[in-house]
Chain A
Amino acid sequence: MPQLDRNRPIPDTIVFDLNESRKGYRINKMCDSLTSDENRRAYKEDEEAYLSRHGLSEEEKRLVRARDWAGLNAAGGNIYYLLKLGFVVGHGLYRMGAQMRGEPFEAFLASRNAKGAR
């Protein structure tokens, strides 16, 4: 039974499927590598070299440099993999989220039910 209705896009949502995964493969693979201290250190020491070594295109590198999370998401980056990049560059989930919502971090926190639970 079909599970997705392509004629009824879910608002502000990218359904991460094989097309997205294929498109964002290099981004996600680079992010996936950030699950060891050694690689996180290498990333912080020389970001440009790290991105080049993982074969990111110029446009993908630009999105990473800009910490453009919505752009990376649109380029096929999966949120759970982007989070690993976020940790390394000092953007936690909620900071990434506030940026995707297009509002300041403090305004986002103020919109939560219990902002201490983070």
Chain B
Amino acid sequence: MARIIAGIGTSHVPSIGGAYDRGAQDEPDWKPLFDAYVPVREWLARLRPDVAIVVYNDHGADFFFDKYPTFALGCADQYAIADEGMGVRPLPRIKGDFEFSRRLCESLVYDEFDLTMCQEMSVEHGFLVPMHLCFDHAPDWSVAAVPLAVNVLLHPLPTAQRCFRLGQAIRRAVEADPRDLRVVILGTGGMSHQLQGKRFGAMNREFDHDFLERIERDPASLARMTHQELMEQAGAEGIELIMWLVMRGAISDGARRVHRHYYGPMTTGMGLITFEEP
């Protein structure tokens, strides 16, 4: 039977991708961020996952508001790297796992999570930054990946509670797959940030640390937060944090927290937390 072996909550700030591409990992202002992921990559190399479910949001690279899915799951053998407006980043194509996606869709839809099924999807920084922070990819990715896009742009968004429950349903769906697969799930985005108006660049370090604490010990209390409360505290764009709850819903309360890190250099709280199942 397939099983979830680990979960990761991580920011997906696009400037991390730019810094990565130009080799700025050792620059003093970037080093704290990149160094935090070195033990995570080593840990994941030991865990040897077969598939990564990456819960992320598109920022206008592949989806447009003409048709906007609340939850969209990639169901392809591979995923192209999107052009977000600055060209295509030099990363290998993402390897998918069609059979895993197909089973996931079947379980989730019959479990009353009505996903949009996507047989062509190109992925962007929301997906790619967590991938290259966590997994080796030279010459090719060390893990297959399934993109799960969440609407965090066009309100009404799915509630935090719905995201948490989706994670719980993903755990059931993975366990219904008879193949012997080791699955890791990533919830990405945030932490606090506001990218509009006079409050552009506002971060909330206290909120972010509290969120990291509660996602470990009391995720149900985060799932009860409304979008209003989340945006008041984490900023309008900080609402991306609801995607961490999908990850946490898929992780058992018996899981051990392994890594935790926080860095807020510019305009976004960059958080990291990992969990390992017993």
Contacts and interface: CB of A to CB of B under 8 A. Distances in A.
A and B associate in one complex:
yes
Interface of A: 1-5, 8, 10-18, 21, 25, 28-29, 31-32, 34-37, 40, 70, 73, 78-81, 83-84, 87-88, 93-94, 96-98, 100-102, 108, 111-118
B210 to A, nearest CB: 19
Given A4-B227, A112-B265, A117-B33, A21 B65 contact: yes
A111 B237 CA distance: 20
Given A35-B85, A116-B30, A10 B198 contact: no
By Cβ-Cβ distance, the 4 closest A-B pairs, closest first, are: A116-B29, A84-B85, A117-B265, A114-B265
Interface in B11-38: 15, 19, 27-30, 33
Nearest to A113: B265
B60 interface: yes
A94 to B, nearest CB: 7
Interface of B: 15, 19, 27-30, 33, 59-61, 64-65, 82-87, 153-157, 159, 161, 194-201, 226-228, 231-232, 235-237, 264-267
Nearest to B28: A116
Contacts of B195: 79, 93, 97
Given A21-B154, A87-B86, A94-B266, 14 more contacts: A8-B228, A16-B236, A17-B156, A31-B60, A35-B61, A36-B83, A37-B83, A80-B153, A81-B60, A97-B267, A101-B198, A108-B201, A113-B265, A117-B19
A3 B236 contact: no
Contacts of A70: 197
A115 to B, nearest CB: 7
Best-buried of A8, A10, A94 by chain B (most CB within 10 Å): A10
